[in-house]
Amino acid sequence: MSIRHWRAAPGNLARVRLVLAQGRARRGWVVWCALVVAALLAGAAGSHLYWRERLAPLQRQVVALKELQQLQQGLEQSRLQLRVSEARGHELERQIDALNQRLRESQDELTFYRKTRDAKR
């Protein structure tokens, strides 16, 4: 019986309804698209994690460099304040020396006037 069916098949091909795309083909396309999207998402997540790990030391270096720049600016300001303080100290010492010199001169004049006044008496 199967032989007859096999021989009769070519004659019946013109009467057979041809289906170019079945419902499964659409589902397969949707499944493939979903798999591609899932693979892209997994790749993006993996790439993000990889580059985050690779760039973490660089980010720490950037933060360290910013801190270093702030520390250097603070050091420079401290040095400038030290120079200003030293300059003020030197200026005050110079003024004190000048005042001491004037005090000695005034005391010498006072001593001279006292001696001349005592000598007149």
Provide, rounded to the nearest whole percent, the portion of the chain with pLDDT above 90: 64
Identify the residue whose tokens are 């396309």.
29
pLDDT at res. 1: 45
Average pLDDT, rounded, for the chain: 86
51 pLDDT band, cuts 50/70/90, is: very high
Name the residue with higher pLDDT: 90 or 18: 90
Query: Where is mean pLDDT largest: 13-27, 78-92, 104-118?
Result: 78-92
120 pLDDT band, cuts 50/70/90, is: confident
- Between the alpha carbon of residue 107 and those of residues 55, 68, 103, 114, the distances in Å are 77, 57, 6, 10
Residue-wise over 54-68: b if at least 16 C-beta within 10 A, else e?
Answer: eeeeeeeeeeeeeee
